[in-house]
Amino acid sequence: MLPRRKSTVAPPPSECPLMECMNLLAGAWTVNVVWYLRDGSRRFGELRYDLSGISAKTLTARLRRLETDGLVSRTVKPTSPPSVEYDLTAFGRRLLPAIEAIAEVGMDLKRVRASGEVHAPVETASS
């Protein structure tokens, strides 16, 4: 049996900022909800249509948690019947560049896999 090597990487701080951010986006459908709110306000039914396959219960839970975390705002419109619109807050919009970057890497991975390449293309600093 090979001896276990000790890690040379320092442990993360007790309150790791990366984990704090990732916890905001944890849970099935959470990133998708943020994605569909990036272009502006959406009503519950519109989001449910955008996210085909999500249950009303799950969408409600995600929206409530995102609102509690300060990423989404909920506005009741004085219509008859009343309607509710959800929108990203300024804080929630700060996550968009990271989510969009992850989506770009995902598209690159899909292209690589579709082309039959074994590894993702390696970019150099001059690319």
Nearest Cα neighbor of 96 from 60, 71, 63, 68 is 71
pLDDT value for 126: 53
Q: What is the CATH number of domain 17-115?
A: 1.10.10.10
Domain extent listing, the chain: 17-115
Question: Is 86 within 8 Å of 63 (Cβ atoms)?
Answer: yes
pTM of the model: 0.77
The amino acid at residue 16 is C
Which pairs count as long-range contacts for 90-94, CB under 8 Å and 24+ apart, including other chains? Answer: 92/34, 92/37, 92/66, 93/38
The answer on pLDDT for 26 being more than 60 is: yes
What tens digit of pLDDT does each residue of 38-89 get? 999 999 999 999 999 999 999 999 999 999 999 999 999 998 888 999 999 9
